[in-house]
Chain A
Amino acid sequence: MNLNRSAREKLVRALAVAVIEHADELTSLDQAIGDGDHGLNMKRGFEAVLATLPALAEKSMPEMLKAIGMTLVMKVGGASGPLVGTFFMELGKALPEEPTRADLVAATGKAIDAVKARGRSEAGQKTLLDVLVPVQAIFAAGGDARAIVAEAAEAAKRTTPMLATRGRASFLGERSIGHMDPGSRSASLLIGAAVATLELEAGL
């Protein structure tokens, strides 16, 4: 599953565009049950990633992912910066330079464990883990691109009736029910963008 320089650039651009184009939607989801900054924060982070793009794509896949993670940690702010940034950094640490699908399955598993540790959270608390965990399970079970993207969208929707027990939305208690989790939505957007590019460029 090798991505050449141009494919790596497309991947980063796709991730950034997915977040930036949906910044208003993410903000309005966060206004309902959080502090209303998720769209703005994620947009700031991915704009900073885009700003380093030509140099970023020159790096190997693992180094590129680590650099994206570090930029997100430093620029996003909020809890999302360390959470999403940790995912990218750990993914980079766990991947070999020329990863197979099995490598990617193992590395996404490790990256998700790191997100759980960073947020001291598990799936079921109405956070991005409610997308990452089930999507990774489909990926690990051999699901194709369509199945992975479909699960990402469905998993984000399934957070709507959930009660938030972690993150700012947990302050609302039962009033968090009935709104999609913004972090789950951004995770599903990122997965959709990543999978579309990987399918096109590397035959996921």
Chain B
Amino acid sequence: MSNSGNVGIVIVSHSAKIAEGAADMVRQMVGNAVPLAWTGGDPEGGLGTNVAGILEAIELAWSPAGVAILVDLGGAETNSEMAVEMLPEERRARVVVCNAPVVEGAVIAATESSGGSPLTAVQRSAEEFYA
């Protein structure tokens, strides 16, 4: 069972294979200690990202401590920000899109989360890759 008290991690890639693979790497590091979901591909399953898929992933990885989203390229970021704005207001402030590389960011963010760190610390740990 996942520990729902920890910050959730959502992985958004243009490629479902990359998103799933990154999620596998996260699981290897942190097991089930962190709520985790991934999404990738356009609404027809081609390369791309889509808001509906991201909303579903946020729901799956939801934690009262919040959710950190890791994205690959521009469209993933724009669609993730759009998805965050479409969340109910009480959830919106507890979801962040990290400015970090998707694979490394997801692994480090999940590792940070698994120690019980708050959302700000999880985001900061992922974003240190670009600092």
Instruction: Check if A74 sits within 8 Å of B73, measured CB to CB.
Output: no
Enumerate B34-80 residues with CB–CB distance to A below 8 Å: 42-44, 46-52, 73-75, 78-79
Instruction: Check if A77 sits within 8 Å of B75, measured CB to CB.
Output: yes
Contacts of B14 in A (CB 8 A): 35
Interface of B is mostly: loop
Count of interface residues, chain B, beta-carbon cutoff 8 Å: 18
Contacts of B52 in A (CB 8 A): 74
Instruction: Check if B43 sits within 8 Å of A75, measured CB to CB.
Output: yes
Count of interface residues, chain A, beta-carbon cutoff 8 Å: 20
Q: What's the Cα separation between A37 and B73 when bound, in Å?
A: 14
Contacts of B74 in A (CB 8 A): 79, 167-168
The contact string, 1 if C-beta is below 8 Å from chain A, for chain B 67-100, is 0000001110011011000000000000000000
Enumerate A21-38 residues with CB–CB distance to B below 8 Å: 35, 37
Contacts of B42 in A (CB 8 A): 37, 41, 44, 77-78
Q: What's the Cα separation between A77 and B51 when bound, in Å?
A: 7
Enumerate A67-88 residues with CB–CB distance to B below 8 Å: 73-75, 77-79, 81-83, 85-86
Q: Which 7 A-B pairs have the closest CB atoms?
A: A77-B42, A82-B82, A79-B75, A77-B48, A79-B78, A78-B75, A77-B50
